[in-house]
Amino acid sequence: MRMLVKKKSLVIVTCFLLVLMYVLNEFYRHRTERLSSGNTNTGGTGALVNVIEEHHEALLYWFSAVESGSLPKHGNILLHIDGHSDGADPFNRLRNPIYRMPRNEREIRLMMVKNDVFIQAAAGTGLIKRFIWVWPPYSEVDKPYIAMNVEAGLMYTEENELVMCFCMESNHTSFEHSCVRVQQPEYEDEDEKYFSIERNMCHDMTLGGIVEIVSTHKARELAKSGTWIKASDSVILDIDEDFYACEAVSAPLYDAGMNEDDIDSLSLYIGKILCTDNAKDEMEADRYFQKLLKAVQETLKHCRSGRLGVETCESNHAFTEAVLALMPDMTITRDIMCLPKESTQFMLVNLVERLKRCSDTQLQHIARIGVCMYASPRSTNFNRNNAMILCKGCNGPNSTQVIFHSTTDKEIATTTRNLKEILTQAFIPKVVTVCRSVRDGYTPRKQFPLIEEGVLSVLKAVYPNHVTDDTIHYDSELLGGREGWYFRYSR
């Protein structure tokens, strides 16, 4: 789940500061490794602007820019324009490359846990010295501008466990504890814990860094000052399209009378039948699912009209056979089939039986949502088996982990103008990542084309000598391809 500032105490809010612990002076003195160009397949193309699906995929392009020499290995500013901070704590920090660049693709993949964890992992390599999060008007952050300085280091606990510790100060806010040590969680879904310590307990405090949390209005003001980000600064520009709005993809299903168990049950059997590990096969799996839905709807009509006998309509196996008889040319190919034919057929009976219970309205919403992989196939813990689910996004409409906000065409135009004002500064970014956040269910799917058009038009207008249609790279793992998901069967 993505983390919002309002959901944490102030110490937890500033957890991103932990990132900067890794940017030790020792890194500058002793660590000069480059990425191994022979072993790292980042997918980077050398393009300045790279459109990606899920936010942790940005790491591929940032480190590709390092490898090509267009981005320094350390000392960069990350200008993060996003509906969320994406500063969640990595579950196991020590498995990531720290104090150095990742050496190969495997090490980069270890850093790509999920959409809100990647920034701390990147900062751990020394890539980032200053993090600026610009949050949208619909977020609920208490102050328009907070800047914090941090010093960090290491200490041993009474159990002789080596842990991180840090001290922080700010002219914009106060801290309940100015110095704390960090305790790693036992389980992946738990938060880190923080314990107050005396400053002299934290050793090797060779780290220094800045974190800024800025409202859209304040960012526009700072951009006009001419001193916020300078022409000489090395900048990674990172824009998430959910900066415009955030909606719950599954809301129409709940409105139509389905509950969480209904949705999870469908996803369970979808994952037992369809297995993919790339966006191309993901589309093929959804295409099969759309045909299956239409066959279910048609068979239900035949049952209601009396065209099919009672025995056929009441027996799950017979009903499934009637459904499959309507799609003889749509046998599941081995590329997207989890199990051999007979086992898949067994699972199909269970899936069709659950679809059979749905109303026409529910089936229509299910078709619009479709099926997709639960996460980017590049994610650290991605598993092809059970990868496909109902494409419902990460958060249901009753989630308290994110702030939902619907938008209009007029508001999209306003946000685009705000974005242009924020970016109209002296610097030219070294690399730009634009994240769709559609598969994970944050950016409104129906409005994503207009939102993305606005973002790219701003980049072309602000950087006319660097960004054109020909220099924008679309990642190969975009959900629904370059054109996107919502209109995938209407174009």
Question: Nearest 5 degrees, angle CA 106-CA 112-CA 116?
Answer: 170
Contact (Cβ atoms closer than 8 angstroms) between residue 116 and residue 1: yes
Question: Which of 167-181, 359-373, 471-485 has the weakest average pLDDT?
Answer: 167-181
- Over residues 365-380, the pLDDT tens digits come to 999 999 999 999 999 9
Mean pLDDT of 92-96: 72
Split at pLDDT 50, 70, 90, the class of 134 is very high
> Residue 92 and residue 67: Cα distance in Å, rounded?
25
The CB density around residue 457, as the number of other CB atoms within 10 Å, is 14
Most confident of 10-19, 23-32, 186-195, 219-228: 219-228
Instruction: For the chain, give every domain's residue range.
Output: 5-247+403-474, 251-390
**Given this model, what pLDDT does residue 70 score?**
95
Give residue 414's identity as a one-letter amino acid code: T
Question: Which of 242-251, 253-262, 460-469, 482-491 has the weakest average pLDDT?
Answer: 482-491
Residue indicated by tokens 């005396």: 198
Split at pLDDT 50, 70, 90, the class of 474 is very high
Mean pLDDT of 10-34: 35
Nearest CA among 276, 371, 444, 377 for reference residue 56: 377
Most confident of 128-132, 156-160, 218-222: 218-222
The SS3 call for residue 396 is coil
The SS3 call for residue 316 is helix
**Given this model, what pLDDT does residue 240 score?**
98
More confident residue, 163 or 73: 73
**Given this model, what pLDDT does residue 21 score?**
36
Q: What are the DSSP calls for 368-418, one per residue?
A: HH-EEESS-TTSTT--STT-EEE---S--TT-SSS--B---HHHHHHHHHH
Contact (Cβ atoms closer than 8 angstroms) between residue 125 and residue 65: no
More confident residue, 162 or 109: 109
> What length is written for the chain?
491
Q: Residue 20 above 60 pLDDT?
A: no
- Token output for 351: 């899936």
Share of the chain above pLDDT 70, in %: 88
More confident residue, 87 or 462: 462
Mean pLDDT of 95-115: 87
- Token output for 280: 């191309």
Per-residue exposure over 129-152, b if at least 16 CB sit within 10 Å of its own CB, e if not: bbbbbbbbebbebeeeebebebbb
Give residue 195's identity as a one-letter amino acid code: F
Question: Which of 4-13, 193-202, 326-335, 469-478 has the weakest average pLDDT?
Answer: 4-13
Which segments of 390-441 does DSSP mark as H helices, in order? 409-423
Integer CA distances (angstroms), 427 to 222, 256, 273, 431, 467, in order: 14, 49, 50, 12, 14
**Given this model, what pLDDT does residue 4 score?**
41
Integer CA distances (angstroms), 187 to 91, 92, 94, in order: 8, 10, 15
Integer CA distances (angstroms), 259 to 84, 151, 388, 398, in order: 27, 47, 19, 11
> Residue 132 and residue 19: Cα distance in Å, rounded?
13
Share of the chain above pLDDT 90, in %: 60
Contact (Cβ atoms closer than 8 angstroms) between residue 229 and residue 157: no
> Residue 139 and residue 4: Cα distance in Å, rounded?
8
- Token output for 132: 């600026």
Q: Residue 402 above 80 pLDDT?
A: yes
pTM more than 0.85: yes
Contact (Cβ atoms closer than 8 angstroms) between residue 193 and residue 157: no
Give residue 271's identity as a one-letter amino acid code: G
Q: Residue 38 above 50 pLDDT?
A: no
> Residue 481 and residue 476: Cα distance in Å, rounded?
7
Question: Which of 13-17, 57-61, 206-210 has the weakest average pLDDT?
Answer: 13-17
**Given this model, what pLDDT does residue 33 score?**
33
Contact (Cβ atoms closer than 8 angstroms) between residue 191 and residue 185: yes
Split at pLDDT 50, 70, 90, the class of 45 is low
Contact (Cβ atoms closer than 8 angstroms) between residue 170 and residue 148: yes
**Given this model, what pLDDT does residue 10 score?**
36
The SS3 call for residue 411 is helix
